[in-house]
Chain A
Amino acid sequence: MIEVERVSKIFKIPHERTKTLFHKLSGVFRATYNYEEFYAVRDVSLKVNQGEFIGIIGKNGSGKTTLLRLISRILEPTGGRISVAQDIAPFLEIGLGFQIDFTTRENIFINGALLGFSRSELKKRFDDIVEFAGLEKFVDTKLNKLSAGMQVRLAFSIAIQSEAPILIVDEVLAVGDMIFQQKCKDVFWKYKKQGRTVLFVSHDMNLIKEYCDRVFIMHEGSIVKEGNPIEMVSFYQDKFLK
């Protein structure tokens, strides 16, 4: 169960680049430290019950990813309260936390550890991960030699090993070929059957209609509407995509 109560996230956008102590000090003397406040997420409240497959739709820059990052504790909210009762496995943007100067094998072990697996558990699952990603030939290749598609496949293969009850999935299917997309879809059906909670962001309205139980529409940082997927998708397409 996820509860988000009146959560906001403000990013400060400096007008001047003051990333160094030197600049900051000279800025103090000239008294010109200006910044603009930007609400990435504004006063959002939502409740997700266990076992729900939730879709979040909205244009680029509407705050979807920031909201997911707040729920996954990667960012701290500026205001409001978030409570998450169970473990979360976030799968945000392309890739988990990959370090491109490490090999496929090393990245599997580091990311596996971050998802809470011990070394011995990972050794058992290692072949499955590599096979699902279709990277048998690239186990000891450094990640910067792999294509973007390969990296996404690898990230997804590791992420689905997680047994966390809550999964956060942000734009996974945008990259990857047909065969991989089908694999992903199979995994989503499995999650639905297992009754796991999924927060799903996608621009693919067919996927949203196919999987989600409930959909939120985000616009300029706020949730403007929530409801059943078919209504929300047609509302979104009428109001925002024209």
Chain B
Amino acid sequence: MKDFKKYLNIVREIALTDFRLKYHDSALGYFWSLLNPIAQFVVLHFVFSYLFVTQVPKFTFYLLSGIVFWSFFYDATLSSMNAIYAKSPLTKRIYFPRNLIIFSSTLTALISFCINTTILWIVVIVFDHFSLNQFLIIIPFISIIFLSMGVAFIISTLYIYFRDSIQIWLVCLNVGFWLTPIVYNALDAPLPLKMVALLNPLGRILIMLRSFLVFNDFPSIELILTTLVFSILIFVFGFWLFNKHSAKIVEYF
């Protein structure tokens, strides 16, 4: 119990310092971190509203919610991988459970994610509608946190042994962006893509999110449960895998 408190304190200190460092040094601070997702949103919105006209109803909110959730997944996984290297001055000189590195970089990404999700929700309420169903976005919210951490643990384990896993992961993220129904509706997609988009846990999280937040309906209980359980399983597996290999971090970095 005493240890748990100590570990919580370590995670908080590292995460908050990283967060401050990331935004404090630039004049516009936090706004800069929003610039990239906003630019992405504006470009994609333009392309799919005027060039390839999309059939997705409420496309603005559909796309915005997809990008906010995707950005968290992107940040959390990539920054966790980077942290394995960036925190090597700490790991080399003092013992602490190495998984705290991943927990703190996810927490740093989570701070932005909380702010962005709040902004997203306010935008939907102001420009579209409010319903009690929207409180249920806590389910996709929690699912994506478990999923991202699980994936972060798995790819960080690879990164301990292989330095080029970051480049490989960047490619996966690029492809993953289009295999996940962020700009299109999974149900409208041609069959192979539809299968991938529906099996992809991130895609299922987005389907839940849009049902609750944008379309004011309720996805099947089965979809909710399988997605949540799958995300937690990925987390448990990743956590186990990482802990099994984390003692090697000091030797390889």
Residues of B within 8 A of A74 (CB): 91-95, 250
Residues of B85-138 contacting chain A, CB below 8 A: 86-87, 89-96
Alpha-carbon distance between A136 and B17 when the two chains are bound, in angstroms: 21
SS class of chain A's interface: helix, strand, loop or mixed?
loop
Instruction: Considering the complex, give the chain B residue whose CB is closest to the CB of A170.
Output: B93
Residues of B within 8 A of A109 (CB): 13, 17
B251 at the interface (CB under 8 A from A): yes
Given the contacts A75-B250, A110-B13, A19 and B92 also touching, CB distance less than 8 Å: no
Instruction: Considering the complex, give the chain B residue whose CB is closest to the CB of A19.
Output: B163
Instruction: Considering the complex, give the chain B residue whose CB is closest to the CB of A105.
Output: B17
In the complex, the answer to whether B93 meets A75 with C-beta atoms within 8 Å is no
In the complex, the answer to whether A96 meets B13 with C-beta atoms within 8 Å is no
B21 at the interface (CB under 8 A from A): yes
A22 at the interface (CB under 8 A from B): yes
B9 at the interface (CB under 8 A from A): yes
Residues of A within 8 A of B21 (CB): 101-102, 106
Alpha-carbon distance between A100 and B6 when the two chains are bound, in angstroms: 23
Instruction: Considering the complex, give the chain B residue whose CB is closest to the CB of A92.
Output: B93
In the complex, the answer to whether A106 meets B9 with C-beta atoms within 8 Å is no
B10 at the interface (CB under 8 A from A): yes
Q: Which of B6, B17, B95, B251 contacts A102 (CB 8 A)?
A: B17
A149 at the interface (CB under 8 A from B): no
In the complex, the answer to whether A110 meets B92 with C-beta atoms within 8 Å is no
Alpha-carbon distance between A142 and B95 when the two chains are bound, in angstroms: 24
Which of A99, A100, A111 is the most central at the interface, judged by chain B CB atoms within 10 Å of its CB? A99
In the complex, the answer to whether A113 meets B95 with C-beta atoms within 8 Å is no
Alpha-carbon distance between A68 and B91 when the two chains are bound, in angstroms: 14
Given the contacts A109-B17, A110-B13, A114-B96, A97 and B168 also touching, CB distance less than 8 Å: no
Q: Which of A75, A97, A113 contacts B251 (CB 8 A)?
A: A75
In the complex, the answer to whether A75 meets B247 with C-beta atoms within 8 Å is yes
Alpha-carbon distance between A99 and B87 when the two chains are bound, in angstroms: 8
Instruction: Considering the complex, give the chain B residue whose CB is closest to the CB of A24.
Output: B162
Given the contacts A97-B89, A113-B13, A73 and B95 also touching, CB distance less than 8 Å: yes
Alpha-carbon distance between A112 and B203 when the two chains are bound, in angstroms: 41
B14 at the interface (CB under 8 A from A): yes
Instruction: Considering the complex, give the chain B residue whose CB is closest to the CB of A101.
Output: B21
In the complex, the answer to whether A20 meets B17 with C-beta atoms within 8 Å is no
Alpha-carbon distance between A102 and B12 when the two chains are bound, in angstroms: 15
Query: Which range holds the interface residue count of chain A?
Result: 35 or more
A119 at the interface (CB under 8 A from B): yes
B164 at the interface (CB under 8 A from A): yes
A153, chain B: closest CB distance, angstroms: 16
Q: Which of A21, A76, A116 contacts B6 (CB 8 A)?
A: A116
B60 at the interface (CB under 8 A from A): no
Q: Which of B5, B6, B93 contacts A96 (CB 8 A)?
A: B93
Residues of B12-29 contacting chain A, CB below 8 A: 12-14, 17, 20-21
In the complex, the answer to whether B247 meets A95 with C-beta atoms within 8 Å is no
Given the contacts A75-B250, A113-B9, A119-B9, A93 and B162 also touching, CB distance less than 8 Å: no
Q: Which of B10, B89, B164 contacts A99 (CB 8 A)?
A: B89
Which of B5, B9, B158, B168 is the most central at the interface, judged by chain A CB atoms within 10 Å of its CB? B9
Residues of B within 8 A of A112 (CB): 13
Residues of A within 8 A of B13 (CB): 109-110, 112-113, 119
Residues of A within 8 A of B6 (CB): 113, 116
- Binary flags per residue of A1-27, CB closer than 8 Å to B gives 1, else 0: 000000000010000000111101000
Alpha-carbon distance between A105 and B86 when the two chains are bound, in angstroms: 19
B216 at the interface (CB under 8 A from A): no
Residues of A within 8 A of B95 (CB): 72-74, 88, 90
A98 at the interface (CB under 8 A from B): yes
In the complex, the answer to whether B90 meets A99 with C-beta atoms within 8 Å is yes
A118 at the interface (CB under 8 A from B): yes
In the complex, the answer to whether A76 meets B247 with C-beta atoms within 8 Å is yes
15 A-B pairs, CB-CB below 8 angstroms? A21-B168, A22-B164, A72-B94, A72-B95, A74-B91, A74-B92, A90-B94, A90-B95, A96-B94, A97-B90, A106-B17, A106-B20, A109-B17, A117-B9, A118-B9
Q: What 10 pairs across the A-B complex have the smallest Cβ distances?
A: A97-B90, A21-B162, A73-B95, A20-B164, A76-B247, A113-B13, A113-B10, A97-B93, A19-B163, A113-B9
Q: 16 additional contacts, CB 8 Å, given A99-B89, A110-B10, A114-B90?
A: A21-B164, A21-B168, A72-B95, A74-B91, A74-B95, A75-B247, A75-B250, A88-B95, A92-B93, A92-B94, A97-B94, A110-B13, A110-B90, A111-B94, A114-B94, A115-B94
